[in-house]
Amino acid sequence: MTDRTRPLHVALLALNSSGYQSLALGYLRAYAQADDRLKGKAAFTTLDLTVDLDPWWVAWRVLGMEPDVLGISVTCWNARAVYEVCRIVAEVRPETVIVLGGPEVGPIAEDVLRERPAVHAVVRGEGERTFAELLHAFASGGKAWRVDGVTTRKLDEIVSAPDRALIENLDVVPSPYLTGVMSPIEGGAYLETYRGCPHRCGYCFEGKGYGRIRSFSHERIAAEIAAVAGAPQIRTFSFIDPVFNLTGERLTWLADTLEPYAASGVRLHTIEVDIERIDEAAARELKRAGVASVETGPQTTGEAALSACRRTFDAERFADGVAACRRAGISVECDLIVGLPGDDAHSFLAGLRFAIGLDPGIVQSSTLHVLPGTDLWMRAPELGLSFDPEPPHEIIATPDVGYRDLRRAEVLAVSVQAAYRARV
Amino acid sequence: MLVFERVAIGSGHGIRCTRCHPDNESPVYHPAAQVLAAVQAVVDTWHGGPGPNVTLTGPEPFAHPELPGMVAGAIDAGVHRLRLEVDGGAFARPGNAEGALGAGVRHVQVTLLGGTEGVHDALAGGPGAFDAATTGMAALDDAIRTAGVAAIVTVLVPVCRHNVADLPAAVGAAVQAGAASVLLRLEDGGIDLEAAAPWITAACDTGVVNGVWVEVEGVPFCVLPAYDLHLASTVRATGGAKPAAVCHACPLDRVCSGGPEGASAETMSAFAPPAGAERLAQAVSRSRGGAR
Ligand code: SF4
Ligand code: SF4
């Protein structure tokens, strides 16, 4: 892209689950808009659409905006639709530069560029700084392939610039809510208080992708909570933190900060917790924070699968945590994964039986997705995992359970969960 | 995984094969107070798993003159999941589905004797029964969606030599009517299990490809190799027939409930410890929370 006289028109696109908006795009835009070098050189529009929309109509909306740059956040769930949108947009408007980012594409950036000629560049890893740098390169005639964290084409060659270091001080990423880039929507607003995860579950990108834990400052978190929980339209919202009860002190601080809003009826839903560290006192803190429902594992109770996925599980502590939440009036969603290496269909059923036996409120199972960049993705040949290379990368068979029993286990789990849910 | 305690609302039976049971006696209903006392006893002694859950069994509940009071009483007593075993026809009548859901019924098990009008009506003993059952199920499914409550319809197929070839169709009919799962319960001790096996496996597959679980009771592991998940699920028949000489040498003995009750020697001649029995026995024990 050569030197320009008019601002770059940057369209940001996310295809979300119904009722949600993309926090990732909010961050990208808030960061880029605050970059002095892009002032007057880039104008932004966000399209927060839903993944169930026909890609042809998504392309219609995109093309109607005539963007110079189209940035799309890609997950395993929306990737198929995103690739279709890219194909159509590239065909109709080849001058639009298509940039993808997100956990689905970052770890396999070179493959994505090789297989998808419509895509011009992939932003790898944490996107805010890299995307802003890339826009700066586009706006000033710089070279995209020189931007750290970017994989792109240099003539006919696919090249990856070095990885970009993680942002040390997360507060330099402006809040999408405090800057007005996003307005919170009822039920679908999420806050993030830190990045990274203390755990390293083999099937998850979170523990692998962002490494050590980096937190936003208390001031920043408190201001965002005030902006979201204090908004008149908000009665419920949530946090995307992988472990809300990261430490006891942090939980108490969050409860102190959230308590006034909880007292006025604002509730937190599907808060992810480490349930084995929840005792009566922690459950009281969650309640004080306004937590109505929490989401947790065990994902599996099978010893072989736990070990293959580098997870720990203590049945007694898990049961105590669920019971403490229930006594505090907090509904618990216990999640299980079908098809983990080391689990056969019967050990999956053992986990299902364990979860149902705790009477947590909700039991939810999903099928393993072998996601790019995760430990399981990298160890798939060694573990003998057969999975769909196309997103969402569902497991097809493992050495422990074949294709037919996997499908059976999925159907059986849905039926048991429905029977459990059906109560007065 | 979910346990339902059974409380009889009367003596006699709901819908069942009139060829296997030509002398179906007329039902006698217990007074509501007696049923509710039994329900209360279940609630008071509930063992701690998710519940209390109660199935009202016996003759058709919609013919019980005090059904609404019994349902309300059971919910007041603290039952979480109340299941009715019905022939389905009552739900085709306006108001019954909404009334049952409003009163707190959350599980309804409809009995189908076949998957086609020809088989079901012939075995149920009269024309129109299949149509009434499937219309009733569809009406109930509609009412559940409209009310937005978490409730499910399941289907029980009592399997005998007269309907075994109709099992895939029965599962198809259940899928069509919105059932969440299907239970095939072999009740005919004289059935030829080996001849029945292809129909049972086809019924299981029909369910799976349509996203509806099919559970099988009264068939041992050795008769349905590779279909063990369908046999190892939530609630199992106990006391099924097993030829001791063969089964005592089978590693699956501790988890297998054998064939249908009253199985004939001819039926049991199909039994033999299957390949991989030890490994399967360990896996099944594990899934039932037993020894690792
Ligand atoms: S699954 Fe949850 S706990 Fe495990 S690494 Fe991912 S975010 Fe962390
Ligand atoms: S031989 Fe084994 S599998 Fe067959 S009926 Fe006997 S115990 Fe069950």
Instruction: For residues A102-112, give the mean pLDDT.
Output: 97
Rounded to an integer, what distance in angstroms lies between the CA atom of residue A191 and that of residue A209? Answer: 19
Least confident of A189-193, A210-214, A293-297: A210-214
Name the more confident of B248 and B153. Answer: B153
Task: Give the residues surrounding ligand 2 with Cβ less than 6 Å away.
Answer: B 220-222, 242, 246-247, 250, 252-253, 256, 258, 271-274
Please check the confidence at residue B58 and state whether its pLDDT lies above 90: yes
Helix (H) or strand (E) holding A100, with range, is: strand A97-101
Residue B292 has pLDDT above 80, yes or no: no
Which of B217, B232, B247 is the endpoint of a domain? B232
Phi and psi at residue A15, in whole multiples of 5°? -115, 100
Question: Do residues B187 and B134 share a domain?
Answer: yes
User: Hey, what amino acid is at A78?
Assistant: N
| Mean per-residue pLDDT over chain A, rounded | 96
In whole numbers, what is the pLDDT of chain B averaged over residues?
A: 92
Q: Which pLDDT tens digit goes with each residue over A129-184?
A: 999 999 999 999 999 999 999 999 999 899 999 999 999 999 999 999 999 999 99
Q: Which residues of B touch A401 (CB under 8 A)?
A: none
Nearest protein Cα to ligand 1, atom 3: A199
Contact indicator for A288, A262 with CB cutoff of 8 Å: yes
Chain B, nearest residue to A406 by Cα: B229
Question: Which residues form the domain of B269?
Answer: 239-292
Q: Within an 8 Å CB–CB cutoff, is residue B287 touching chain A?
A: yes
Name residue, tokens 């189209």: A70
Q: Is A133 on the interface with B (CB under 8 A)?
A: no
Sorting pLDDT into bands at 50, 70 and 90, what band is B259?
confident
- Given a cut of 70, is residue A207 above it in pLDDT? no
Average pLDDT of span A18-29: 96
Does the domain made of A184-423 have the CATH classification 3.20.20.70? yes
Are B260 and B208 found together in one domain? no
Pocket test for ligand 1, best of A192, A194, A199 (most atoms within 8 A of CB): A199
Residue B234 banded pLDDT, cuts 50, 70, 90: very low
For B289, the closest of A344, A353, A420 (CB atoms) is A353
pLDDT at residue A210, as a whole number: 59
Report the interhelical angle of A345-357 vs A403-421 (nearest 10°).
10
Residues of chain A contacting B208 with CB distance shorter than 8 Å: 407-408, 411
| CB-based pocket (< 6 A), ligand 1 | A 197, 199-201, 204, 206-207, 242
Chain B interface, best mutation among A303, A322, A415, by max B CB count within 10 A: A415
Residue range B96-120: average pLDDT? 97
Quote the pLDDT of residue B288: 75
State the pTM of this model.
0.94
Residue A239 has pLDDT above 60, yes or no: yes
Choice from B193, B216, B248, B252 to test ligand 2 binding pocket (greatest atom count within 8 A of CB): B252
pLDDT digits (tens, 9 = 90+) for B161-170: 999 999 999 9
User: Could you tell me if A83 lies within 8 Å of chain B, comparing CB atoms?
Assistant: no
By the CB < 8 Å criterion, does A378 face chain B?
A: no
Q: Where among B206, B232, B258 does a domain terminate?
A: B232
Measured distance CA(B122)–CA(B19) in Å, rounded: 9
| Low-confidence winner among A38-52, A329-343, B249-263 (lowest mean pLDDT) | B249-263
Rounded Cα gap, residues A330 and A183, in angstroms: 28
Q: Model confidence at B233, in pLDDT bands (50, 70, 90)?
A: low
Q: Are B167 and B202 in contact (CB under 8 A)?
A: yes
CA of B277 to the centre of ligand 2 (A): 9
Q: How do strand A69-73 and strand A8-16 relate by DSSP bridges? A: parallel
| B278 shares a domain with B133 | no
Nearest ligand to the CA of B248 is: 2
Rounded-to-integer distance, Cα A397 and Cα A70, Å: 37
**Three-class DSSP labels, A147-201:** CCCEEEEECCEEEECCCCCCCCCHHHCCCCCCCCCCCCCCCCCEECCEECCCCCC
* pLDDT of B48 strictly over 90: no
Mutation test of ligand 2: which of B194, B219, B222, B254 has the most ligand atoms closer than 8 Å to its C-beta? Answer: B222
| Cβ count near B55 (within 10 Å) | 17
- Domain residue extents for chain A: 8-160, 184-423
pLDDT tens column, A309-339: 999 999 999 999 999 999 999 999 999 999 9
**What CATH topology corresponds to A8-160?**
Rossmann fold (3.40.50)
The yes-or-no verdict on residue A1 having pLDDT over 70 is no
Cα torsion A314, A316, A322, A324 to 10°: value is -130
Question: Do the chains contact at A408 and B208, CB–CB below 8 Å?
Answer: yes
Average pLDDT over residues A295-304: 97
Maximal C-alpha separation, chain A: 66
Measured N-to-C along each axis, helices B117-124 and B129-147 cross at an angle, to the nearest 10 degrees, of 110
Confidence of residue A211 (pLDDT cuts 50, 70, 90): low
Tell which of A411, A420, A421 to mutate to test the B interface (max B CBs under 10 Å): A411
B100 shares a domain with B207 = yes
By C-alpha distance, which of A97, A27, A36, A107 is closest to A62? A97
Query: What CATH number did the domain enclosing B228 receive?
Result: 3.20.20.70
- Percent of chain B at pLDDT exceeding 90: 77
Same domain? B128 vs B75: yes
**What six digits make up the tokens of A243?**
């472990």
pLDDT tens digits for range A240-284: 999 999 999 999 999 999 999 999 999 999 999 999 999 999 999
Atom of ligand 2 at shortest distance to CA of B274? 3
Dihedral in degrees, nearest 10, Cα atoms A103, A105, A106, A112: 170
Taking the centre of ligand 1 as the mean of its atom positions, its distance from the CA of residue A243, in whole angstroms, is 8
- Residue B236 predicted with pLDDT over 60: no
Give the rounded percent of residues in chain A with a pLDDT score beyond 70.
98
What is the ipTM score, two decimals?
0.95
**pLDDT confidence bin for B239, thresholds 50/70/90:** low
Task: Output the pLDDT for position A89.
Answer: 98
User: DSSP strand E in A190-292: where?
Assistant: 190-191, 194-195, 214-215, 236-239, 267-268, 271-272
Confidence check: pLDDT of B291 > 50: no
- pLDDT at residue A108 is higher than 60: yes
Q: Are residues B106 and B204 in the same domain?
A: yes
Where does the pLDDT of residue A186 fall: very low under 50, low under 70, confident under 90, or very high at 90 and above? very high
| Mean pLDDT across A226-234 | 97
What domain count does chain B have? 2
